[in-house]
Amino acid sequence: MKSGHEIRIEAVRKNYGALAALDSLSLNIKAGEFTVLLGPSGSGKSTLIRSLAGIEKLDSGSIFFGDREVNRGPLNVAPEKRDLAMVFQDYALWPHLTALENVGYALKRRKLSTDDSLKKVRAALSRVGLASKESNYPHQLSGGEQQRVALARAIVADPALLLFDEPLSNLDADLRERLRIEISTLTREIGASALYITHDQSEAFALADQIGVINNGAIEQIDTPEIIYEKPATRFVATFTGTAGIFKGTVKSISEESCVVSLGTDSLRARHTVPLEVGQEVDLLVRPAATTFTHNDTDQISSTIIDIAYRGRGYEHAIETKYGSLTGVFDNTSHSRGHRMEVSIDPDKCIAFPHETQEATK
Protein backbone atom coordinates (compact mmCIF):
# COMPACT_ATOMS: atom_id res chain seq x y z
CA MET A 1 0.00 0.00 0.00
CA LYS A 2 1.27 3.44 -0.93
CA SER A 3 2.34 5.76 1.89
CA GLY A 4 0.61 9.13 2.28
CA HIS A 5 2.35 12.48 2.44
CA GLU A 6 3.57 13.77 5.76
CA ILE A 7 2.37 17.39 5.76
CA ARG A 8 4.05 20.24 7.62
CA ILE A 9 2.49 23.70 7.51
CA GLU A 10 4.62 26.39 9.12
CA ALA A 11 3.32 29.86 10.08
CA VAL A 12 1.45 30.43 6.81
CA ARG A 13 -0.23 33.76 6.10
CA LYS A 14 -2.64 34.74 3.35
CA ASN A 15 -4.21 38.19 3.18
CA TYR A 16 -7.06 39.45 1.03
CA GLY A 17 -6.65 43.19 1.43
CA ALA A 18 -6.92 43.96 5.14
CA LEU A 19 -8.40 40.52 5.90
CA ALA A 20 -6.02 37.83 7.15
CA ALA A 21 -7.60 34.63 5.81
CA LEU A 22 -4.67 32.67 7.31
CA ASP A 23 -2.91 34.19 10.31
CA SER A 24 0.44 32.49 11.07
CA LEU A 25 -1.28 29.10 10.97
CA SER A 26 0.75 25.94 11.64
CA LEU A 27 -0.39 22.32 11.31
CA ASN A 28 1.17 18.86 11.04
CA ILE A 29 -0.45 15.81 9.46
CA LYS A 30 1.22 12.43 9.87
CA ALA A 31 1.50 10.11 6.89
CA GLY A 32 -1.80 8.26 6.47
CA GLU A 33 -3.61 10.38 9.06
CA PHE A 34 -7.16 11.66 8.53
CA THR A 35 -7.30 15.27 9.76
CA VAL A 36 -10.48 17.35 9.84
CA LEU A 37 -10.48 21.13 10.03
CA LEU A 38 -13.66 22.28 11.77
CA GLY A 39 -14.75 25.89 11.71
CA PRO A 40 -17.39 28.40 10.62
CA SER A 41 -17.67 30.09 7.24
CA GLY A 42 -14.89 32.62 6.77
CA SER A 43 -12.55 30.95 9.26
CA GLY A 44 -9.86 30.17 6.66
CA LYS A 45 -10.63 26.50 5.97
CA SER A 46 -11.02 26.82 2.20
CA THR A 47 -8.02 29.12 1.84
CA LEU A 48 -5.81 26.58 3.60
CA ILE A 49 -6.99 23.62 1.57
CA ARG A 50 -6.59 25.57 -1.68
CA SER A 51 -3.06 26.52 -0.62
CA LEU A 52 -2.24 22.87 0.00
CA ALA A 53 -3.59 22.07 -3.46
CA GLY A 54 -1.42 24.75 -5.05
CA ILE A 55 -4.41 26.81 -6.19
CA GLU A 56 -3.61 29.71 -3.83
CA LYS A 57 -0.21 31.35 -3.31
CA LEU A 58 0.77 32.19 0.25
CA ASP A 59 2.03 35.60 1.37
CA SER A 60 4.45 33.99 3.83
CA GLY A 61 5.20 30.73 5.60
CA SER A 62 5.96 27.30 4.18
CA ILE A 63 4.25 24.03 3.30
CA PHE A 64 6.24 20.79 3.16
CA PHE A 65 5.21 17.41 1.76
CA GLY A 66 7.69 15.22 3.56
CA ASP A 67 11.07 16.91 3.05
CA ARG A 68 9.89 18.67 -0.11
CA GLU A 69 8.91 22.33 0.21
CA VAL A 70 5.97 23.08 -2.10
CA ASN A 71 4.99 26.61 -0.93
CA ARG A 72 7.16 29.50 0.19
CA GLY A 73 7.10 33.06 -1.15
CA PRO A 74 7.35 32.87 -4.94
CA LEU A 75 7.80 29.06 -4.79
CA ASN A 76 4.49 27.37 -5.62
CA VAL A 77 4.76 23.83 -7.01
CA ALA A 78 2.00 23.18 -9.57
CA PRO A 79 -1.02 21.16 -8.36
CA GLU A 80 -0.37 18.32 -10.82
CA LYS A 81 3.12 17.85 -9.37
CA ARG A 82 1.98 17.44 -5.74
CA ASP A 83 0.59 13.88 -5.93
CA LEU A 84 -2.78 14.86 -4.53
CA ALA A 85 -6.46 14.86 -5.46
CA MET A 86 -9.33 17.05 -4.33
CA VAL A 87 -13.05 16.36 -3.87
CA PHE A 88 -15.19 19.49 -4.12
CA GLN A 89 -18.55 20.46 -2.65
CA ASP A 90 -20.08 20.95 -6.12
CA TYR A 91 -18.66 17.71 -7.64
CA ALA A 92 -16.73 19.59 -10.40
CA LEU A 93 -17.52 16.99 -13.08
CA TRP A 94 -17.22 17.63 -16.81
CA PRO A 95 -20.86 17.70 -18.04
CA HIS A 96 -19.94 16.45 -21.55
CA LEU A 97 -18.04 13.40 -20.28
CA THR A 98 -19.45 10.10 -19.02
CA ALA A 99 -18.70 8.79 -15.53
CA LEU A 100 -16.00 6.58 -17.06
CA GLU A 101 -14.45 9.51 -18.92
CA ASN A 102 -14.61 11.84 -15.89
CA VAL A 103 -12.72 9.34 -13.74
CA GLY A 104 -10.29 8.55 -16.56
CA TYR A 105 -9.42 12.23 -16.93
CA ALA A 106 -7.39 11.98 -13.71
CA LEU A 107 -5.06 9.52 -15.44
CA LYS A 108 -4.39 11.64 -18.53
CA ARG A 109 -0.87 12.57 -17.40
CA ARG A 110 0.01 9.03 -16.33
CA LYS A 111 1.99 6.92 -18.76
CA LEU A 112 -0.46 4.05 -18.81
CA SER A 113 -1.65 1.90 -21.67
CA THR A 114 -5.29 2.27 -22.67
CA ASP A 115 -6.08 -1.15 -21.21
CA ASP A 116 -4.34 -0.43 -17.90
CA SER A 117 -6.05 2.94 -17.61
CA LEU A 118 -9.47 1.46 -18.36
CA LYS A 119 -8.89 -1.29 -15.82
CA LYS A 120 -8.02 1.23 -13.07
CA VAL A 121 -10.99 3.46 -13.90
CA ARG A 122 -13.46 0.58 -13.82
CA ALA A 123 -11.97 -0.65 -10.55
CA ALA A 124 -12.40 2.82 -9.01
CA LEU A 125 -16.01 3.06 -10.17
CA SER A 126 -16.65 -0.41 -8.80
CA ARG A 127 -15.22 0.60 -5.40
CA VAL A 128 -17.77 3.42 -5.13
CA GLY A 129 -20.65 1.23 -6.34
CA LEU A 130 -21.04 2.74 -9.81
CA ALA A 131 -19.83 -0.07 -12.09
CA SER A 132 -23.22 -0.11 -13.83
CA LYS A 133 -23.26 3.68 -14.39
CA GLU A 134 -19.99 4.14 -16.28
CA SER A 135 -21.77 5.30 -19.47
CA ASN A 136 -24.00 7.84 -17.70
CA TYR A 137 -23.39 11.58 -18.00
CA PRO A 138 -23.50 13.76 -14.85
CA HIS A 139 -27.05 14.99 -15.58
CA GLN A 140 -28.18 11.35 -15.61
CA LEU A 141 -26.84 10.77 -12.09
CA SER A 142 -28.21 11.78 -8.69
CA GLY A 143 -26.25 14.15 -6.45
CA GLY A 144 -24.93 11.24 -4.43
CA GLU A 145 -23.87 9.37 -7.57
CA GLN A 146 -22.12 12.46 -8.91
CA GLN A 147 -20.16 12.77 -5.67
CA ARG A 148 -19.24 9.10 -5.92
CA VAL A 149 -17.87 9.74 -9.40
CA ALA A 150 -15.84 12.63 -7.96
CA LEU A 151 -14.57 10.31 -5.21
CA ALA A 152 -13.62 7.63 -7.76
CA ARG A 153 -11.76 10.27 -9.77
CA ALA A 154 -9.87 11.30 -6.63
CA ILE A 155 -8.73 7.78 -5.69
CA VAL A 156 -8.11 6.31 -9.17
CA ALA A 157 -4.47 7.43 -9.29
CA ASP A 158 -3.73 6.41 -5.66
CA PRO A 159 -2.65 9.93 -4.56
CA ALA A 160 -0.58 10.47 -1.44
CA LEU A 161 -2.90 13.25 -0.23
CA LEU A 162 -6.67 13.60 -0.48
CA LEU A 163 -8.28 17.01 0.09
CA PHE A 164 -12.02 17.25 0.81
CA ASP A 165 -13.73 20.65 0.52
CA GLU A 166 -17.06 20.14 2.37
CA PRO A 167 -17.98 17.33 -0.06
CA LEU A 168 -21.21 16.28 1.67
CA SER A 169 -22.87 19.61 2.35
CA ASN A 170 -25.14 19.47 -0.73
CA LEU A 171 -26.55 16.02 0.09
CA ASP A 172 -29.48 14.91 2.24
CA ALA A 173 -28.85 13.58 5.76
CA ASP A 174 -29.13 9.84 5.02
CA LEU A 175 -26.89 10.05 1.97
CA ARG A 176 -24.35 12.17 3.86
CA GLU A 177 -23.99 9.42 6.46
CA ARG A 178 -23.50 6.67 3.86
CA LEU A 179 -20.98 8.67 1.85
CA ARG A 180 -19.14 9.70 5.00
CA ILE A 181 -18.51 6.03 5.74
CA GLU A 182 -17.36 5.41 2.15
CA ILE A 183 -14.96 8.37 2.27
CA SER A 184 -13.49 7.18 5.56
CA THR A 185 -13.12 3.59 4.38
CA LEU A 186 -11.68 4.33 0.93
CA THR A 187 -9.20 6.92 2.19
CA ARG A 188 -7.81 4.54 4.78
CA GLU A 189 -7.78 1.64 2.30
CA ILE A 190 -5.47 3.45 -0.12
CA GLY A 191 -3.23 4.72 2.72
CA ALA A 192 -3.49 8.38 1.73
CA SER A 193 -3.15 11.27 4.13
CA ALA A 194 -6.33 13.35 4.21
CA LEU A 195 -7.41 16.87 5.08
CA TYR A 196 -11.16 17.34 5.23
CA ILE A 197 -12.83 20.68 5.94
CA THR A 198 -16.32 21.11 7.35
CA HIS A 199 -18.49 23.30 9.56
CA ASP A 200 -20.44 20.22 10.75
CA GLN A 201 -19.13 19.03 14.13
CA SER A 202 -20.86 15.61 13.96
CA GLU A 203 -19.18 14.97 10.61
CA ALA A 204 -15.81 16.03 12.01
CA PHE A 205 -16.06 13.76 15.06
CA ALA A 206 -17.17 10.79 12.96
CA LEU A 207 -14.30 11.03 10.45
CA ALA A 208 -11.21 12.36 12.16
CA ASP A 209 -8.07 10.88 13.64
CA GLN A 210 -7.36 14.46 14.71
CA ILE A 211 -9.51 17.59 14.61
CA GLY A 212 -8.21 21.12 14.24
CA VAL A 213 -10.71 23.82 15.27
CA ILE A 214 -10.02 26.90 13.16
CA ASN A 215 -11.22 30.45 13.80
CA ASN A 216 -10.18 33.77 12.24
CA GLY A 217 -7.40 32.15 10.22
CA ALA A 218 -5.72 30.39 13.15
CA ILE A 219 -6.07 26.99 14.77
CA GLU A 220 -7.37 27.33 18.32
CA GLN A 221 -6.84 23.68 19.23
CA ILE A 222 -5.80 20.46 17.49
CA ASP A 223 -6.10 17.04 19.10
CA THR A 224 -8.06 13.80 19.04
CA PRO A 225 -11.86 14.10 18.87
CA GLU A 226 -12.11 12.95 22.50
CA ILE A 227 -9.73 15.62 23.82
CA ILE A 228 -11.33 18.36 21.71
CA TYR A 229 -14.73 17.53 23.18
CA GLU A 230 -13.75 16.72 26.76
CA LYS A 231 -11.01 19.33 27.26
CA PRO A 232 -11.64 22.31 24.97
CA ALA A 233 -8.77 24.78 25.19
CA THR A 234 -10.89 27.87 24.49
CA ARG A 235 -14.45 29.06 24.83
CA PHE A 236 -14.80 29.07 21.04
CA VAL A 237 -13.76 25.43 20.77
CA ALA A 238 -16.28 24.49 23.44
CA THR A 239 -19.18 26.39 21.87
CA PHE A 240 -18.44 25.27 18.30
CA THR A 241 -18.34 21.60 19.26
CA GLY A 242 -21.79 21.66 20.80
CA THR A 243 -23.67 23.32 23.66
CA ALA A 244 -27.25 23.12 24.84
CA GLY A 245 -27.00 26.58 26.33
CA ILE A 246 -24.88 29.00 28.36
CA PHE A 247 -25.53 30.27 31.90
CA LYS A 248 -23.76 33.28 33.40
CA GLY A 249 -22.52 32.84 36.96
CA THR A 250 -19.77 33.48 39.51
CA VAL A 251 -17.12 31.06 40.73
CA LYS A 252 -18.02 30.13 44.32
CA SER A 253 -15.24 27.61 44.98
CA ILE A 254 -12.58 25.94 42.86
CA SER A 255 -10.28 22.92 42.76
CA GLU A 256 -7.68 21.81 40.24
CA GLU A 257 -10.16 20.59 37.60
CA SER A 258 -13.63 21.55 38.86
CA CYS A 259 -15.50 24.45 40.38
CA VAL A 260 -18.84 25.41 41.88
CA VAL A 261 -20.64 28.19 40.01
CA SER A 262 -23.26 30.33 41.71
CA LEU A 263 -26.11 31.24 39.37
CA GLY A 264 -28.09 33.16 41.96
CA THR A 265 -30.22 31.03 44.26
CA ASP A 266 -28.81 27.85 42.70
CA SER A 267 -25.29 26.50 42.35
CA LEU A 268 -23.97 24.07 39.75
CA ARG A 269 -20.71 22.15 39.64
CA ALA A 270 -18.65 22.17 36.45
CA ARG A 271 -15.23 21.37 35.03
CA HIS A 272 -12.77 24.01 33.88
CA THR A 273 -9.96 23.70 31.33
CA VAL A 274 -8.52 27.21 31.75
CA PRO A 275 -7.45 28.98 34.99
CA LEU A 276 -10.27 30.56 37.04
CA GLU A 277 -10.46 32.39 40.35
CA VAL A 278 -13.03 32.54 43.15
CA GLY A 279 -15.36 35.48 42.55
CA GLN A 280 -14.70 35.55 38.80
CA GLU A 281 -17.65 35.92 36.42
CA VAL A 282 -17.91 32.90 34.13
CA ASP A 283 -19.99 31.47 31.34
CA LEU A 284 -21.14 27.96 32.16
CA LEU A 285 -21.32 25.99 28.90
CA VAL A 286 -23.76 23.08 29.16
CA ARG A 287 -23.24 20.19 26.73
CA PRO A 288 -26.42 18.61 25.25
CA ALA A 289 -25.65 15.29 26.98
CA ALA A 290 -25.50 17.00 30.39
CA THR A 291 -29.23 17.37 30.86
CA THR A 292 -31.89 14.88 31.97
CA PHE A 293 -35.26 15.02 33.69
CA THR A 294 -34.15 12.36 36.20
CA HIS A 295 -34.34 13.81 39.71
CA ASN A 296 -31.16 14.20 41.77
CA ASP A 297 -30.54 15.73 45.16
CA THR A 298 -28.03 18.21 43.73
CA ASP A 299 -27.16 19.92 40.45
CA GLN A 300 -30.73 20.47 39.34
CA ILE A 301 -32.78 23.54 38.51
CA SER A 302 -36.43 24.26 37.79
CA SER A 303 -37.52 24.66 34.16
CA THR A 304 -40.52 25.03 31.89
CA ILE A 305 -40.93 23.06 28.64
CA ILE A 306 -41.12 25.47 25.69
CA ASP A 307 -40.79 23.08 22.73
CA ILE A 308 -40.68 19.35 21.88
CA ALA A 309 -39.20 17.56 18.86
CA TYR A 310 -39.66 13.84 18.12
CA ARG A 311 -36.30 12.23 17.18
CA GLY A 312 -37.26 8.59 16.57
CA ARG A 313 -35.40 7.21 19.59
CA GLY A 314 -37.32 9.63 21.84
CA TYR A 315 -37.97 13.33 22.37
CA GLU A 316 -35.75 16.39 22.60
CA HIS A 317 -37.09 19.28 24.66
CA ALA A 318 -36.23 22.95 24.73
CA ILE A 319 -36.59 24.36 28.23
CA GLU A 320 -36.57 27.79 29.84
CA THR A 321 -34.98 28.38 33.21
CA LYS A 322 -34.53 31.60 35.17
CA TYR A 323 -30.88 31.54 34.09
CA GLY A 324 -31.49 31.02 30.37
CA SER A 325 -32.72 28.41 27.89
CA LEU A 326 -31.37 24.94 27.11
CA THR A 327 -32.02 22.79 24.05
CA GLY A 328 -31.71 19.07 23.34
CA VAL A 329 -32.93 17.80 26.73
CA PHE A 330 -33.66 14.18 25.89
CA ASP A 331 -36.29 11.90 27.36
CA ASN A 332 -38.10 8.77 26.19
CA THR A 333 -41.36 10.47 27.17
CA SER A 334 -42.82 13.61 25.63
CA HIS A 335 -43.53 16.40 28.12
CA SER A 336 -46.11 18.99 27.08
CA ARG A 337 -45.32 22.64 26.45
CA GLY A 338 -45.73 24.75 29.56
CA HIS A 339 -45.14 21.79 31.88
CA ARG A 340 -42.75 22.51 34.77
CA MET A 341 -39.89 20.04 35.32
CA GLU A 342 -36.78 19.74 37.44
CA VAL A 343 -33.76 19.22 35.18
CA SER A 344 -30.61 17.50 36.43
CA ILE A 345 -27.28 18.69 35.03
CA ASP A 346 -24.21 16.43 34.93
CA PRO A 347 -21.20 18.46 36.17
CA ASP A 348 -18.78 16.40 34.07
CA LYS A 349 -20.50 17.71 30.93
CA CYS A 350 -20.47 21.39 31.93
CA ILE A 351 -17.42 23.58 31.37
CA ALA A 352 -16.81 27.03 32.87
CA PHE A 353 -14.93 29.72 30.95
CA PRO A 354 -14.22 33.37 31.78
CA HIS A 355 -17.23 35.51 30.90
CA GLU A 356 -17.03 36.47 27.22
CA THR A 357 -16.54 40.21 27.77
CA GLN A 358 -13.63 39.50 30.13
CA GLU A 359 -11.94 37.26 27.53
CA ALA A 360 -12.40 39.91 24.85
CA THR A 361 -10.45 42.50 26.84
CA LYS A 362 -7.39 40.31 27.38
Residues present in the chain in total:
362
- pTM score of the predicted model: 0.88
Contact 247, 268 (CB under 8 A): yes
pLDDT (0 to 100) of residue 1: 57
Compute CA distances 226 → 36, 128, 209, 275, 306, whole Å. 13, 30, 10, 21, 32
**Of the candidates 149, 145, 147, 182, the residue with the CA atom closest to the CA atom of residue 166:** 147
pLDDT (0 to 100) of residue 361: 39
Q: What are the residue ranges spanned by the domains of the chain?
A: 7-237, 243-360
Q: Compute the average pLDDT of residues 326-345.
A: 93
Contact 318, 245 (CB under 8 A): no
pLDDT tens digits, 39-93 = 999 999 999 999 999 999 999 999 999 999 999 877 889 998 999 999 998 888 9
Residue type, 180: R
Are domains 7-237 and 243-360 of this chain identical in fold?
no
pLDDT tens digits, 186-230 = 999 999 999 999 999 999 999 999 999 999 999 999 999 999 999
**Of the candidates 211, 226, 346, 225, the residue with the CA atom closest to the CA atom of residue 289:** 346
Regarding the domain delimited by 7-237, which CATH topology (the fold level of the hierarchy) does it fall under?
Rossmann fold (3.40.50)
Half-sphere exposure of 112 (CA within 13 A, CB side): 17
Regarding the domain delimited by 243-360, which CATH topology (the fold level of the hierarchy) does it fall under?
OB fold (Dihydrolipoamide Acetyltransferase, E2P) (2.40.50)
pLDDT (0 to 100) of residue 172: 86
Per-residue pLDDT band at 362 (split at 50, 70, 90): very low
Q: Which is it for strands 267-272 and 350-354: parallel, antiparallel or unpaired?
A: parallel
